[in-house]
């Protein structure tokens, strides 16, 4: 019996009135499932292509392009294409009229299609280094992106349909984003540990040390040792790739099976209270609404400029752990180091928003993040004490990541109220389509820079050799420094405060009461 009062206090809800804790929990559970799917694709489809299908191997070409560059372009082009589908999906959501509401139905309808297309992306029957394979995965990946968008946009739009209280909505989004972080973290940490363990027996190199060891063990000359190592390496490359294919496929199946019921749970246990009424708006009308929402456009611009701020936590970080640190399981450590700062930030967000406003909380933490990354860049990683400094830096970088993950959604929720105050129309779908657009631009930039770093650093994903380790570090960290500082600039022009949001909601309610 004591749990309910605690939950009401956590979310700021009122017993028997408006949104209830059960709905907030269901909403968060769906976020866990959603991030199982998003992360297995966002973090590992590129590695599946470069390492399991060997498009990142030295000398592999896709048409006239090196394989790694072709994969990088595919990731960027597909995500950008998908991101600009979000306004279309947002308009579809705003047109939706069902007995369940405008957002909830998509959690029910799209769970199975998302699961199927996710598994198809990792089919182990794909042939390594094949042009046909590249073409087929490209098509499946594009289809997955569209299908995922159909559920992603309404999921985040649902937060504004549950309640119009900015404090309660912020609390719900805080818990939901923490749940999403847990979902993403389980995939991010677990998968590299598994893939590293199952491929451990296939790590052979043609280094001078290894050649000398073979000469001593088998009493052969240097030429004979090189022939032996070359034969073994070819066999190991093939076995490593084949093992990775099946491992990624099994991981995808497991996470899909666990995630699907979470979508249905969110649909079943939430209720839409604030949603559009009357005739459904056209797509053109929604686009006009979007450009009337100048506060939202500032958030979008900031999100695009910040697309590379967390690139080290995407594919690039995994390549760094796998090929520079020689232990892909360390990628899990890299991402886990961000968690403590993120959790602290998540807990502090309601207090920060109240004390400093969302706007200034956002600006300050990103300027802080830029300074932290600049220090990491100049310190480097080639000594034990430097690794410790960078580890502390990663913990601190969890603060802007945690704040951004929550405050951005809450600010977009406020811009929905701003739009209704300004035009009389809410436009949840088109507004929250901008948040998913920001997310996908970030994933596109992260995947593109991560895979491009394979080519820039001269990594051969077949043999595991790296020509220029420093180049990989420079790409991952410097891009983050620039992005952290750049994303803060537009927010200096953002004007919605917590006080102003409440005044707008009160004025909206007053208008409605006069009708």
* DSSP string for 210-222: HHHHHHHHHT--H
| Radius of gyration, alpha carbons of the chain | 24
Helical (H) or strand (E) element with 41: helix 21-47
Predicted confidence at residue 211, as pLDDT, reads 59
End-to-end, the C-alpha distance of the chain in Å comes to: 42
Tell me if 10 is assigned to some domain.
Answer: no
Predicted confidence at residue 315, as pLDDT, reads 78
Please tell me whether residue 283 adopts helix, strand or coil conformation: helix
Tell me if 144 is assigned to some domain.
Answer: yes
CATH code of residue 440: 1.20.1250.20
Tell me if 44 is assigned to some domain.
Answer: yes
CA–CA distance, 434 with 418 (Å, rounded to integer): 15
Tell me if 4 is assigned to some domain.
Answer: no
Q: Which domain holds residue 318?
A: 18-271+281-514
**Tally of structural domains, the chain:** 1
List, for the chain, all residue ranges whose pLDDT scores fall below the cut of 70.
1, 203-235, 275-280, 515
Residue 66 pairs with which residues in a beta bridge?
61
Predicted confidence at residue 146, as pLDDT, reads 92
Q: Is 478 exposed, middle or buried (0-12, 13-18, 19+ CB in 10 A)?
A: middle
Residue 483 contacts residue 307 (beta carbons within 8 Å): yes
Tell me if 450 is assigned to some domain.
Answer: yes
Tell which residue, 429, 486, 132, 105, has the closest CA to residue 308. Answer: 486
Tell me if 328 is assigned to some domain.
Answer: yes
Predicted confidence at residue 447, as pLDDT, reads 80
- Can you read off the two tokens belonging to residue 374? 């600049």
CA–CA distance, 320 with 339 (Å, rounded to integer): 19
Global confidence as pTM: 0.81
Tell me if 381 is assigned to some domain.
Answer: yes
CA–CA distance, 207 with 205 (Å, rounded to integer): 6
Tell me if 2 is assigned to some domain.
Answer: no
Tell which residue, 443, 424, 440, has the closest CA to residue 432. Answer: 440
Residue 418 contacts residue 412 (beta carbons within 8 Å): no
Q: What is the pLDDT of residues 28-79, one digit of tens each?
A: 999 999 999 999 998 899 999 999 999 988 888 888 888 889 998 998 888 8
Predicted confidence at residue 233, as pLDDT, reads 58
Predicted confidence at residue 368, as pLDDT, reads 97
Lookup result for tokens 């496929």: 249
Q: CB-based contacts of 346: which residues, under 8 Å, 6+ apart?
A: 174, 177, 178, 181, 402, 405, 406
Helical (H) or strand (E) element with 65: strand 65-66
């Amino acid at each position: 019996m004591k749990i309910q009062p605690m939950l009401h206090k956590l979310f700021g809800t009122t017993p028997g009135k408006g949104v209830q804790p059960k709905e907030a929990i269901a909403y968060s559970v769906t976020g866990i499932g959603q991030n199982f799917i998003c992360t297995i694709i966002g973090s590992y489809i590129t590695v599946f292509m470069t390492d399991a299908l060997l498009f990142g191997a030295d000398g592999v070409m896709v048409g006239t392009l090196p394989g790694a560059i072709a994969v990088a372009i595919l990731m960027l082009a597909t995500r950008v294409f998908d991101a600009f589908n979000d306004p279309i999906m947002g308009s579809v959501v705003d047109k939706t009229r069902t007995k369940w509401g405008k957002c909830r139905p998509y959690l029910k309808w799209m769970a199975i299609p998302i699961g199927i297309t996710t598994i198809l992306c990792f089919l182990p029957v794909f042939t390594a280094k094949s042009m046909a394979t590249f073409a087929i995965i490209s098509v499946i990946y594009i289809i997955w992106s569209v299908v995922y968008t159909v559920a992603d946009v309404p999921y985040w739009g649902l937060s504004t349909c549950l309640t119009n209280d900015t404090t309660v909505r912020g609390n719900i989004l805080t818990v939901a984003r923490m749940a999403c972080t847990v979902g993403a973290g389980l995939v991010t940490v677990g998968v590299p540990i598994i893939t590293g363990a199952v491929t451990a027996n296939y790590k052979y190199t043609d280094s001078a040390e290894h050649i000398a060891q073979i000469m001593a063990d088998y009493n052969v000359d240097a030429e004979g040792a090189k022939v032996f190592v070359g034969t073994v390496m070819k066999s190991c490359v093939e076995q490593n790739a084949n093992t990775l294919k099946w491992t990624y496929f099994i991981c995808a199946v497991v996470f899909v099976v666990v995630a699907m019921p979470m979508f249905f749970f969110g649909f079943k246990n939430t209720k839409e209270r604030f949603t559009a009424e009357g005739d459904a708006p056209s797509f053109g009308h929604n686009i006009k609404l979007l450009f009337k929402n100048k506060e939202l456009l500032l958030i979008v611009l900031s999100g695009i400029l910040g697309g590379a701020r967390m690139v080290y936590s995407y594919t690039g970080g995994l390549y760094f752990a796998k090929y520079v640190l020689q232990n892909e399981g360390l990628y899990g450590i890299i991402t886990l180091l961000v968690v403590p700062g993120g959790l602290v930030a998540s807990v502090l967000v309601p207090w920060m928003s109240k004390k400093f406003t969302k706007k200034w909380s956002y600006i300050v933490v990103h300027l802080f993040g830029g300074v932290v990354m600049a220090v990491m860049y100049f310190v480097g990683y080639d000594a034990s004490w430097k690794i410790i400094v960078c580890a502390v830096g990663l913990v601190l970088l969890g603060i802007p990541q945690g704040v951004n993950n929550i405050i951005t959604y809450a600010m977009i929720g406020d811009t929905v109220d701003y739009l209704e105050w300004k035009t009389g129309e809410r436009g949840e779908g088109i507004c929250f389509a901008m948040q998913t657009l920001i997310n996908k631009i970030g994933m596109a930039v992260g995947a593109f820079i991560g895979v491009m770093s394979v080519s820039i650093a001269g990594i051969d994903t077949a043999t595991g050799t790296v020509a220029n380790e420093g180049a990989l570090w420079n790409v991952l960290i410097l891009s983050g420094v620039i992005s952290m500082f750049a994303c803060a600039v537009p927010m200096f022009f953002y004007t919605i405060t917590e006080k102003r949001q409440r005044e707008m909601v009160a004025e909206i309610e007053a208008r409605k009461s006069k009708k």
